Chain A
Amino acid sequence: MNVSREEIIHMANLADLNLSEEEIQKYTKDMEDILAFANEINKVNTDNLDESITANERYNILRKDEVKEFEDKDALLQNAPSQKNGMFHIPKMI
């Protein structure tokens, strides 16, 4: 399976990663290996099998629409690098 340099850069951009030239080379090779490994599964004979959309066959795991307030509000922000007026403080976004 061939993976192009552009595909690796695109994926890195989507993941907000800056890759060095060396890393691009390394991940191109890694990604090709991963795809080759995943391709193994295409060898399995699936004739006469229904298509499945999930590994978990259970369905309709639902909860009632009843309010339960989370009590320990202070804990929610305790790991925020910076906070103000109960909000997470982050670099300016527009």
Chain B
Amino acid sequence: MAKEDYEVVMGLEIHAELSTKTKIFCSCPTDFGGEPNTHCCPVCMAMPGTLPVLNEKVVEYAVKAGIAMNCDIAENSKNDRKNYFYPDLPKSYQISQFDMPLCKNGYIEIETKDGKKKIGITRIHFEEDAGKLNHDEYGGGSFVDLNRAGVPLIEIVSEPDIRGAEEADIYLKKVKSILEYIEVSDCKMQEGSLRADVNVSVRKKGDNKLGTRTEMKNMNSFRAIQNAVAYEVKRQIDILESGGKVEQETLRWDELQGETISMRDKEDAQDYRYFPEPDLALIHISKEYVEEIKRNMPELPESRKNRYISYYNLPEYDANILTSTKYFSNLFEGALEVCNNPKAVSNWIMSDIIGILNEKEINADKIPFTAKDLGELICLIDKGTISTSIAKKVLLEMFDTSEKPNKIIEKNGWVQISDEGAIIEVVNKILAANPQSISDYKAGKDRALGFLIGQAMKETKGKANPGMLNKMFLEELNKQ
């Protein structure tokens, strides 16, 4: 059988660090970086006799995520201990949630090439992150830094509804975008604040039974997931095609070698011996609490998109891109507050800003100017202060210097020339230098006018008001 006769079935477990100020069970700061073991205290270092106290924001953020992903919020929930030994886990157990997660039975909608599709969310629970092991920096041994130990995480577990690497990519980006919109995680994959365990299995098309799955842990880039899944799917199909059996196991993706490597043998099958955490009280979530959070939820991308289409008359394609991250969406809405020209603002983001971001290889969250700045820039075009071509130069400088558009224009002397006397002077100068164009125009070649305007623009370094140039060239040509 060929590769096309198989169907890929995937589920994702996404871990997102919550953007609370303090850790989940103690008051240490969660700031990224910092000297090793400086964001620590006896609680997150698991000193004997210490007790955890749950951060109320962790519950709030996890409930927010549950609501945004259409989950049922459990009225009663609890914490459990997940037991395993690893030096980045100082208590030798992780406080997590086992059989009574905070959120269950949700879904999110993604746009695939075959249209909209729902991906089921089995559950969302909260837990603590582990510390970090450093290797080889100072010769032999390993070194434990517990700054990240106890940083709150949510784990979002999907149903096995994902068919292939491309859908996994769309799904992960959608989850990231939602978490950013509701401001519960900053989702920085490079810093490890968003990472995914990816389950993959294959089965013959038409089969209802799931194939044996393998799991790849801690994937923290979109590209690694694409490559790892492609490799793993081929590996599993090759095994089945040659009459073998896929083993259920945990794999590690080796980006350099471009292959998956088995992490543990089966004899050591994971047995976490979960049991209820005796050091923490139960969590009770009232209907009023959920309603209150619902009332204060930021508007989600789906709703923003529909509003852009119906209220601002933007094409669905544009609305999709503008709402693909909160950074574009907030830029769009912020600019509109200053400059009420939705089509123009949308175009500037869709073509110029996204173009510059791609060229400079920077992410949308790193745009160095404010939405108000963009609005002002577009207003300056609408008012005739600068031409569109000058505005493009101003935008580039805004990216480089983060300065206000007005200041950049003033500094470079880029104000559009709209003074009649000055324009007529340029028009006459260009006409005098181009007698051939005058005869061409007289002979009915309209292109000659475009050439003359182009020359005048060049002469004024793009600062002449194009509308006035057009009008005055016509007047002068008709006089001749």
* Cross-chain contact B35 with A59 (CB below 8 angstroms): no
* Cross-chain contact A63 with B27 (CB below 8 angstroms): yes
| Known contacts A84-B143, A87-B36; is-contact A14 B280 (Cβ 8 Å) | no
Partner of B27, one of A14, A61, A67, A92: A67
Interface flag for A19 (CB, 8 Å): no
- Residues of chain B with a CB closer than 8 A to A89's CB: 141-143
Chain B interface helix/strand/loop/mixed: loop
Distance in Å: Cβ of A71 to nearest Cβ of chain B: 9
Interface size on A, residues (CB 8 A): 37
Q: How many A-B Cβ pairs are below 8 Å?
A: 121
Distance in Å: Cβ of B261 to nearest Cβ of chain A: 12
- Residues of chain A with a CB closer than 8 A to B78's CB: 53-54
* Cross-chain contact A88 with B143 (CB below 8 angstroms): yes
Interface flag for A58 (CB, 8 Å): yes
Contact with B along A27-55 (1 / 0, CB 8 A): 00000000000000000000000000111
- Residues of chain A with a CB closer than 8 A to B145's CB: 86-87
Beta-carbon contacts under 8 Å, B51-85 to A: 53-57, 59, 76, 78, 83, 85
How many of chain B's residues touch chain A, expressed as a range? 35 or more
Partner of B38, one of A14, A73, A92: A73
Beta-carbon contacts under 8 Å, A45-94 to B: 53-70, 73, 76-77, 82, 84-94
Closest residue of A by beta carbon distance from B40: A76
Distance in Å: Cβ of A16 to nearest Cβ of chain B: 6
* Cross-chain contact B22 with A60 (CB below 8 angstroms): no
Considering the chains assembled together, what is the distance between the CA atoms of A70 and B39 in angstroms?
A: 8
Distance in Å: Cβ of A80 to nearest Cβ of chain B: 9
Considering the chains assembled together, what is the distance between the CA atoms of A56 and B276 in angstroms?
A: 11
Q: Which residues of B contact A (CB under 8 A)?
A: 20-22, 27-29, 35-38, 40-42, 45, 53-57, 59, 76, 78, 83, 85-87, 100, 133-135, 137-138, 140-145, 268, 271, 273, 276, 278, 280-284
Other than A61-B54, A86-B145, give 10 A-B pairs with Cβ distance below 8 A: A54-B276, A54-B281, A65-B57, A73-B37, A84-B143, A86-B36, A88-B87, A89-B143, A90-B144, A91-B142
